Amino acid sequence: MKQFEKAVSAIGKLSARVSSWPDGVTPVVPAARNEEGFWPSGFRLAGINAGIKPVRKDLMLLLCDGRASAASVFTTNLCTAAPVELSKSHLSVSSGRMRAAICNSGNANAATGEEGMLSATRMAADTAAAFGLKPEEVLVASTGVIGQQLPVAKISEAMARLDASLGKDLWLDAAEAIMTTDTFPKFFGVDVSVTGGTVRIAGIAKGSGMICPNMATMLAFLATDATIEPSLLQEILGAANALSFNAITVDGDTSTNDTASILASGRGPEIIRGSDDAVRFEEALKMVMTMLAQMIVVDGEGATKFVEISIQGARNSDEARMAAMTIANSPLVKTAIHGEDANWGRIIAAAGRSGASFVQDELAVSFDTVPILKPGLDARFSEEEAKKIMSREEFTITVTLGNGPGTAVVWTCDLSKRYIEINGSYRS
Amino acid sequence: MKQFEKAVSAIGKLSARVSSWPDGVTPVVPAARNEEGFWPSGFRLAGINAGIKPVRKDLMLLLCDGRASAASVFTTNLCTAAPVELSKSHLSVSSGRMRAAICNSGNANAATGEEGMLSATRMAADTAAAFGLKPEEVLVASTGVIGQQLPVAKISEAMARLDASLGKDLWLDAAEAIMTTDTFPKFFGVDVSVTGGTVRIAGIAKGSGMICPNMATMLAFLATDATIEPSLLQEILGAANALSFNAITVDGDTSTNDTASILASGRGPEIIRGSDDAVRFEEALKMVMTMLAQMIVVDGEGATKFVEISIQGARNSDEARMAAMTIANSPLVKTAIHGEDANWGRIIAAAGRSGASFVQDELAVSFDTVPILKPGLDARFSEEEAKKIMSREEFTITVTLGNGPGTAVVWTCDLSKRYIEINGSYRS
């Protein structure tokens, strides 16, 4: 299957999991490569090869026609990459009014010290010079190998070609240019009805956590035509992020470069703080980010299965999340999922070491709608039914802790030999 | 290689890593199966097949000729197995004066509810009846499949044969009877000079964390001829455990059954609280437990390499341990070790998400004595030298955080395809 078709197929499967879209929110799925009208108005994009990688696209530009409201969430890893540091500083200096985001793949510009910071600064300065912006209006991102200096001269030399390639519908070129070992580009969009009309939100993303051979990074670039204050946009992005990109895990390894940024062009209706529109906008953004996050899990290194871990009845939502993440990251749970083994003992053992509080006797586990373990440690279930569910490409494991109102949902994939192959291979 | 020879070979390699044994402590390595005089005096042991497994030994008894001082450390997993609960209660009721430990393999008696607790209770009662003890003088342990009821009748029926098999030098039979997917039995001993003469400490252990296909458990049974109060023995065991069994990881999955117990027969010299002897006894016990712990890592599922993760310069020892454990459990670090790839970026990225505090610029990484990353993110190292070290069966990764006096050492293994094979296979 070609990459674009693979992406559309993933969207189809993941959309089928959505029982109902939030009120006023309609998914927008393009039917063809670079389909016109998918990306929110007020932006142009480009994706080209700058020579960092031999052949494939490796440089993306997202340019807003005017000043956009911008917001970003960044990795919490202490070994922060240079572009992350620089983008944080630019967002602050510009009070969240930005014009562009530039991103290269093939090199993470992480653990590169002062020279790396000079390279990131030059990426921003060259972009600003080429497109008539101020350097502090440019967000910078990088993804790829850690600990090697960025060949920044190649990026500088590519500015003219980047300019020549810009187009308002080239979102797929952009999505392809930020890929590392992703096997398909990730994109998704929604329309959301608000008081003043319709707002479009769309985004592209790449790479699942630190899952690539020495490559790093989950990156997402989101755009909307909404008119919205940067501070409100930042609040909404943070809230939506907690339940989308922060709810996925492939291998538990938080990268040095993780970034999700959104630019709002202001061409469309206004979203006002405290309004119903703001609530709806947040719901819609969360749907876009969740779909992109889930596409990352589907495309996890070596992944053959997509599994939702749903925790019910935790003491509170923090404990629910601890249990969900511990189960989702357990190598024993992930290999059992891979082997289609209804090994509920590993699931409750992972919950038991997660730090979440519960009484063993109250635990319940189900796969989709089939109870596997009932309270009282009653594990009389049909192996046949369990196997039938586990043989699917996607299913949900629900664990009920019986200890309160706390819930959490995270998405993960199985752990296969292919993961070892990919990540055990030599860097060069 | 036969199992016994494999164990002796592992001891040889791990002993070679010890730069110097603590003062007055001499390792005792038996040269032959069930060699006489290896086990401390005052005990008899047996290991037989009780029919829980088809052919291999699956039932162990460690019997003290008189009342022993006893101490145990147990799993912190909330899904505690029945034998763990029962043993805790027996230790408390008997004020740490115990006569025996009985352990089966092939079934963990975990997540088995009330029936499981009745089975564990019956194991203790039958042992007590057969050997003229009180039930509360018996420690009970189980290891194997989770969530299936223990065929306890088979254990009851095996008591007479267990009695007939008892011998004071049958420590290897005992070590074999507690194995699950271990590929070799684990045993080690030391002599330690104290004021009143010489004390012998020896132990057997099995299984590395929750690494078996639906099997659980790290178990260790230690014995000494020392005369020592239970409360002091418990303190010393706890302290030694923190730096030995609690410093290893194969897959980060803490089992439901983990137990390390020690019985002191009182045949030998006395160890008095606060004395130099007590310090020396603790050092000696720590050596025995460390060697057993390291043998567990060497025999980790699919492991081909034994790696020490040493953290220097952390803010404090808690942060050092967080960094060490995060690096040791990172699938990306473990696959890079497997692939013999000097991927220092993954190591510092794992440290960066561990919660330990540091400044990226101060980080240093070395493999054995070869610097890989120097402060200032200087990663000019010889790939050839790095490869030479990583191609070894065992080596040390030292990470210096440059942020204080805190240190920690943990031991881990690589992550190979064989781990996926073993743990992805169906339970039955």
Angle at Cα A193 formed by Cα A189 and Cα A196, nearest 5°? 125
- Does residue A257 sit at the B interface (CB-CB below 8 Å)? no
**CA dihedral (A354, A357, A362, A367) positive or negative:** negative
Question: In this structure, are residues B251 and B302 in contact, taking their beta carbons and an 8 Å threshold?
Answer: no
Residue B211 pLDDT > 50? no
pLDDT at B132: 97
pLDDT at A353: 85
Q: CB–CB of B341 and A251 under 8 A?
A: no
Q: Which residues of A are catalytic?
A: 217
For residue A45, which of A131, A125, A107, A129 has the smallest C-alpha distance? A131
- As a CATH number, domain A306-424 is 3.10.20.340
The 10s digit of each residue's pLDDT in B180-210 is 888 899 999 999 999 999 999 999 999 754 5
| Tokens coding B112 | 């088995």
pLDDT at A214: 35
* CA dist A187 → A7, A9, A30, A105, A204 (Å): 8, 12, 9, 17, 4
Q: Which of B253, B325, B333, B359 to mutate to test the interface with A (most CBs of A within 10 A)?
A: B253
The 10s digit of each residue's pLDDT in A42-54 is 999 999 999 999 9
Q: Do domains B3-298 and B306-424 have the same CATH topology?
A: no
B335 vs A252, A332, A423: nearest CB? A423
**Å from B145 to nearest chain A CA?**
9
**Complex ipTM tops 0.85:** no
Q: Which of A 190-249 lie inside 8 A of B, CB atoms?
A: 210-211, 214, 216
Q: CB–CB of B78 and A358 under 8 A?
A: yes
- Does residue A146 sit at the B interface (CB-CB below 8 Å)? yes
- Does residue A304 sit at the B interface (CB-CB below 8 Å)? no
- Does residue B415 sit at the A interface (CB-CB below 8 Å)? yes
The 10s digit of each residue's pLDDT in A168-188 is 999 999 999 999 888 899 999
pLDDT at B209: 47
The 10s digit of each residue's pLDDT in A268-288 is 999 999 999 999 999 999 999
The stretch A104-117 carries a mean pLDDT of: 93
A353 vs B77, B376, B420: nearest CB? B77
**Å from B428 to nearest chain A CA?**
9
Note the residue count of chain B.
428
Q: Which residues of B are catalytic?
A: 217
Confidence tier at B217 by pLDDT (50, 70, 90): low
Q: Which residue of A has its CA nearest to B372?
A: A147
**Å from B408 to nearest chain A CA?**
19
Exposure string over B279-288, b if 16+ CB within 10 A, otherwise e: ebbbbbbbbb
Edge-first strand listing for the sheet containing B394-400: B248-249, B406-413, B306-314, B394-400, B364-367, B370-373
| Tokens coding B408 | 């920690």
CA–CA distance, B90 with B51 (Å, rounded to integer): 27
Q: Which residues of B touch A118 (CB under 8 A)?
A: none
Q: Which residues of B touch A315 (CB under 8 A)?
A: none
Residue A211 pLDDT > 70? no
Q: Which residue of A has its CA nearest to B330?
A: A253
The stretch B125-139 carries a mean pLDDT of: 98
Residue ranges per domain, chain B?
Answer: 3-298, 306-424
Question: In this structure, are residues A219 and A262 in contact, taking their beta carbons and an 8 Å threshold?
Answer: no
Q: CB–CB of A352 and B253 under 8 A?
A: no
pLDDT at B19: 85
Question: In this structure, are residues A222 and A187 in contact, taking their beta carbons and an 8 Å threshold?
Answer: no
The 10s digit of each residue's pLDDT in A372-392 is 999 999 989 999 999 999 999
Q: CB–CB of A351 and B146 under 8 A?
A: no
A147 vs B77, B331, B379: nearest CB? B379
AA letter at A226: A
Q: CB–CB of A377 and B147 under 8 A?
A: yes
Angle at Cα B382 formed by Cα B381 and Cα B386, nearest 5°? 95
Element housing A139 (H / E) = strand A138-145
The 10s digit of each residue's pLDDT in A60-76 is 999 999 999 999 988 87
The 10s digit of each residue's pLDDT in B102-122 is 999 999 998 899 999 999 999
Q: CB–CB of B361 and A113 under 8 A?
A: yes
pLDDT at A147: 86
Which homologous superfamily does the CATH classification assign to the domain defined by A3-298? L-amino peptidase D-ALA esterase/amidase (3.60.70.12)
The 10s digit of each residue's pLDDT in B347-395 is 998 999 888 999 999 999 999 999 999 999 998 999 999 999 999 999 9
CB atoms within 10 A of CB B174: 28
Residue A219 pLDDT > 90? no
A426 vs B341, B360, B420: nearest CB? B341
**Å from A287 to nearest chain B CA?**
27
Q: Which of A75, A304, A332, A348 to mutate to test the interface with B (most CBs of B within 10 A)?
A: A332
What are the φ/ψ torsions at residue A387 (nearest 5 degrees)? Answer: -60, -40
Q: CB–CB of B111 and A379 under 8 A?
A: yes
**CA dihedral (B397, B401, B404, B410) positive or negative:** negative
> Which contacts of A62-65 are long-range, i.e. CB under 8 A and separated by 24 or more positions?
A62/A100, A62/A101, A62/A102, A62/A174, A62/A221, A62/A223, A62/A263, A63/A99, A63/A100, A63/A131, A63/A166, A64/A98, A64/A99, A64/A100, A64/A263, A64/A265, A65/A265
- Does residue B348 sit at the A interface (CB-CB below 8 Å)? yes
The 10s digit of each residue's pLDDT in A130-144 is 999 999 999 999 998
A349 vs B79, B112, B348: nearest CB? B79
CB atoms within 10 A of CB A334: 30
**CA dihedral (B332, B336, B337, B339) positive or negative:** positive
Q: CB–CB of B346 and A253 under 8 A?
A: yes
pLDDT at A253: 65
Q: Which of A74, A78, A333, A383 to mutate to test the interface with B (most CBs of B within 10 A)?
A: A78
Query: Where are the alpha helices (H) located in A299-416, listed in sequence order?
Result: 317-329, 331-338, 344-352, 383-390
Look-up: residue for tokens 């299965």? A305
The stretch A114-122 carries a mean pLDDT of: 97
Query: Strands A248-249 and A370-373, how do they pair?
Result: unpaired
In three-state secondary structure terms, B315 is: coil
A-B CB pairs within 8 A amount to 200
Bridge partners, A191 (sequence order): A26, A200
Confidence tier at B218 by pLDDT (50, 70, 90): confident
Q: Which residues of A touch B216 (CB under 8 A)?
A: 345, 349
Q: CB–CB of B111 and A360 under 8 A?
A: yes
**Å from A181 to nearest chain B CA?**
15
Q: Which residues of B touch A344 (CB under 8 A)?
A: 147
Q: Which residue of A has its CA nearest to B145?
A: A345
- Does residue B255 sit at the A interface (CB-CB below 8 Å)? yes
- Does residue B76 sit at the A interface (CB-CB below 8 Å)? yes
Look-up: residue for tokens 């408390």? B92
A214 vs B251, B331, B345: nearest CB? B345
**Å from A349 to nearest chain B CA?**
6
The stretch A11-20 carries a mean pLDDT of: 90
Q: CB–CB of B210 and A346 under 8 A?
A: yes
